[in-house]
Amino acid sequence: MPALFAYEGIGATVVQALKFRDGRRLITPLADAAAAIVRPVDGMVCTWLPTSGRRRRARGFDQSELLARAIARRLTIPAASILRRSPGQAQTGRSRADRAQNVVFRTTRAAVGPLLVIDDVCTTGATIRAAALALEEIGAESVQFVTVARTP
């Protein structure tokens, strides 16, 4: 799974600014960089791994959604909300085992064709695995994930 940065040093700084310091100004350069590493295919739709409703309300935005929509514009593909995070505790600060047990996604519609899924950071891969399972269950033809940062 491609990532723009390792989640350390500058990569951690970028993700933390994006999430916790109203880093919406980072969306443009991050979308430019992410779009450059995506291999778009015919019929591809861009979606994102949504943050929790609580975090979205606190921040006033979902950083993965903003990034996904910006990437979709650059690739001239549609963006669509396909996943919803089921209620539960945040992943931040949880152990690897707890993360694997914690994330469940609901889907908002059937997936047709290939999907590009955007997330801000991948730490253990639990969130991505949960999303991949949910998307597989609704018939996603293929799924390509891209994150801003990934733990080394």
- Per the DSSP assignment, residues forming a β-bridge with 7 are none
Amino acid occupying residue 26: L
CA 48 – CA 58 distance, rounded (Å): 19
Per-residue pLDDT of 96-143, as tens digits, reads: 555 445 557 878 777 668 999 999 999 888 888 889 988 988 888 889
Sign, Cα dihedral of 136, 138, 140, 145: negative
Q: What is the pLDDT of residues 59-85, one digit of tens each?
A: 889 999 999 999 999 999 999 999 988
